[in-house]
Chains A and B, each alone.
Chain A
C-alpha cells in the first residue's frame, strides 16, 4: 500500500483483492453502525442534540481567533504553556524543543490523529527520542510499522489472528505456549508490555478531543485508561491538537461528548472523560510541566471558504463507519491520515486538490455520511466543491473533460442531441444483438471492465412519443 493520496486507484484495487480485509471491514456494521443507531434512538431527541452540537461547533469556527486567545490566557493562568504551530514542521520543532528542554528520551503517547498528521513518531526517532504508542490499536500498528486505517480504531483493518502474529514476532519475552486466541488475551499481552513503560517514560503526549477556552482545559474521551497513565505519570505532558478543537467552555464540551460517544462507538459515555487543565496543583496530582501545541497545518485556510463547515468535525468516524466506499476498501487505500468522507472533504483542502483529488471523486454522493454526521457537515457538497476546483484548475482527467465537453455540447443543442441519441440507441441495440445486452464497446472501458450494458430498445422515447398515433 502506497502512502500517497495520488495512488488511491491502485491502492483501492489492492485493498479489494485483500482477502483478510473484507471480513475486518464487515465488522463496521456490528461494531459501529448498530451502536450508533441504538444509542441515538435511546437518547430521545437526538436530532435536537445534533442541532445543539452543530451550533456549538459553528460558534467555535466563527470565533476561532478570540476563542484561541482566551484558551491560551486560561492555560497560562493555570501554569501551562501554549505553542502555536503554523504547519507540521513548526509543530514537530516545538515538541522536540519541549522534550529537549526536559531531557526526555522516552515518550509515551496516547491516541492522537494530529501527531499522525504531522508525522511525529519518525521525527522523534530521528532525533534520538523513543515514542511508544499506548493505545492498543496504535500500539499494534506501531509494531507493524503501519499508519492508522480508521480515526478511532487505528487497527480496524486487522484480524485478531494478525494481531497475535504481530505480538509473537515483536515480543521477544512472550512464552510461545501462551494462548493469544482471545481478545482479552491480546489485551493482557499488550498491557504486560506497556505497564513498565508508563512508569519509566520521561514525557507523555496526548491529543485532545476538545479544548475548553474559558477553563483552559484539554479533554480526552477514551476507553482504555492509557490516556490517563500517559498524561499523569511522566514529568511532562504535551497536548498536541488542531486549532479547530476549541470550544467556548466545559458546558459546551458536555453536549459534544454526548454526541461524540453515541456517534462514534454507540456508547452513552466512554469509560473515561479526562479534563486536563494545567500542571500539578496543590493536590499533588499530575505532571510538572503542561504544554499545549496548537496545530494549524492548513485548517485556517478553509475558514470562510466553501469547505468552511468541515472544520466543525469532531472526529467521531460516523461518516467512515457508514461509508460504502470505506467499507469496500478500508482506510489505508486513501494514503492520508484522514480516510473516508471526512478525508474526502478535508484532504483536498489541506493537502491540495492536485494531491487528494481522488478522495473527493471517489464518492457516489450517496449521502449517508451527511445523514449520520453529528454536527451536520454537508460532506458530499464539500466534496463536490473540490471537484469543481479540480475541474476549474484543469486538473480533472483529460478523458473526463473531453467526454463531458462533447456530451455537454450536444445536451445544449436539443436537435443535435435527439439525432445523436437516436443513432446511439440503434448502435447499442445492434451491439446487443440477440443477447439483449452489450458486452463491450470502444472508449467505454470503465463501464465494461466489470459489467455488461443492457441493450436499448432501439428507438428513443422522443422518437416514439412524436410518432405515436
Chain B
C-alpha cells in the first residue's frame, strides 16, 4: 500500500448501483477504505449522463456533466464501481464539455483523475491482496467499457485471484460484448437477446457457479436473461466478492 497522506476519494456511485444494488456501493466504500482512502459520497450526484450522450442528446449530457464536475472536482480522485460510468467521465467528458469555456479545462482535469474501482485499487493504491476468503467458482465478464475504454483487464483478475477459496474460470470469448449497450438493449431487444444468450452460454459452459463483472448494466441484462430462461447461475458485481459480501443474495435472488 502506498505511503503518505490518505487521498480523498469521491465515490461516483452510479445511478444503477444507487437504485438497484446499494450493496455494491458499500462494497466499494469498504475496499477504498481498506486501501487507505477517505471516501465521500456527494449527495448532489445523480447519473453521469451517458444515456443522453450515447443517444446524441448532447445538451442534456452537457448539463449533467457540469453538475458532476461541480460535485467532484475538489477530490483527489473520483472512483466509480463501473467501467462504463468511469469511462464516461474519463474518456468523454472532455468532449461533452469541449465547447463550454467555463468547464472545458475543468472537465479535462476531472477526467484525468477518474477511475474504475478495481483498476484504481491496484494501479493507484497498489492493492495486491484483499485478505478475503470465499468458496466460490467465478467467471469474469469484462465489460467493453472497462476493457477497451479504460484498459482494465488484469487488475480485477489479480484481486479475485487473491481471494482464498476462489477459483477463476475464463470465458471462451471474454472480448465479445454481452449485448447490453444501455438504450441499445431496449431499442433492439432481439439483437441484444442473441448476444446475451451467446454470453450466457459461454458463462454456463465455463464451469463457474457465479458470473462476476465490473459493470452492473451488463450484469442486470445477463441476470435478467438467465432468469427469463430459468437458468441457474449467480450473478453479482466483482466488488461484492472482494469486499467479503459474496454470501449475500445474488442479483435477482430473493432476499431472506
Contacts and interface: CB of A to CB of B under 8 A. Distances in A.
Contact of B228 (A361, A384, A452, A462): A452
B7 interface: no
Contact of A447 (B53, B144, B185, B194): B185
Among B20, B26, B47, B249, the most chain A Cβ lie within 10 Å of the Cβ of B20
Contacts of B26: 461, 464
Contacts of B171: none
Interface in B161-214: 175-177, 179-196
Interface stretch (B105-113, B216-224, B238-246): B216-224
Contacts of B17: 461
Given A367-B149, A436-B254, A447-B185, 7 more contacts: A364-B144, A364-B179, A408-B63, A451-B221, A451-B225, A452-B252, A464-B22
B182 to A, nearest CB: 8
A365 B145 CA distance: 9
Contacts of B144: 364-368
Given A384-B54, A408-B57, A447-B186, A456 B193 contact: no
A421 interface: yes
A451 B224 contact: yes
Interface stretch (B38-46, B117-125, B132-140): B38-46
A426 to B, nearest CB: 11
B220 A453 contact: yes
Interface string B18-49: 11111101100000000000000101111101
Nearest to B199: A324
Interface stretch (A75-83, A271-279, A409-417): A409-417
Could you tell me the dominant secondary structure of chain A's interface residues? helix
Interface of B: 13, 15, 17-23, 25-26, 41, 43-47, 49, 51-58, 60, 63-64, 67, 144-145, 148-149, 175-177, 179-196, 220-221, 223-225, 227-228, 235, 249, 251-255
B251 A454 contact: yes
A223 B22 CA distance: 57
B189 A449 contact: yes
22 contacts: A12-B190, A13-B190, A328-B195, A361-B184, A362-B187, A367-B148, A367-B149, A387-B54, A404-B52, A404-B55, A407-B51, A408-B49, A421-B18, A451-B193, A451-B221, A452-B224, A452-B252, A454-B21, A455-B252, A457-B21, A465-B41, A466-B43
Among A386, A389, A437, A456, the most chain B Cβ lie within 10 Å of the Cβ of A437
Given A384-B54, A436-B255, A457-B22, A450 B13 contact: no
B23 to A, nearest CB: 7
A390 interface: yes
B46 A411 contact: yes
Contacts of A437: 223-224, 227, 252
B190 A450 contact: yes
Interface of A: 9, 12-13, 16, 324-325, 328-329, 361-368, 371, 384-392, 396-397, 400-401, 404-405, 407-408, 410-412, 414, 417-418, 421, 424-425, 428, 434-437, 444, 446-447, 449-457, 459-462, 464-466
A368 B190 contact: no
B23 A462 contact: no
Could you tell me the dominant secondary structure of chain B's interface residues? helix
Given A365-B181, A408-B60, A414 B46 contact: yes
B94 to A, nearest CB: 13
A436 B22 contact: no
Contact of A408 (B56, B64, B227): B64
B13 A417 contact: no
Nearest to B182: A364
Contacts of A457: 20-23, 255
Nearest to B84: A365
Contacts of B255: 436, 457
A195 to B, nearest CB: 42
A400 B183 CA distance: 9
Nearest to B225: A451
Contact of B175 (A361, A368, A411, A462): A368
A332 to B, nearest CB: 14
B63 A436 contact: no
B214 to A, nearest CB: 14
User: Which 5 pairs across A and B sit closest by C-beta, in order of nearness?
Assistant: A364-B181, A446-B186, A387-B56, A454-B252, A451-B224
B170 to A, nearest CB: 17
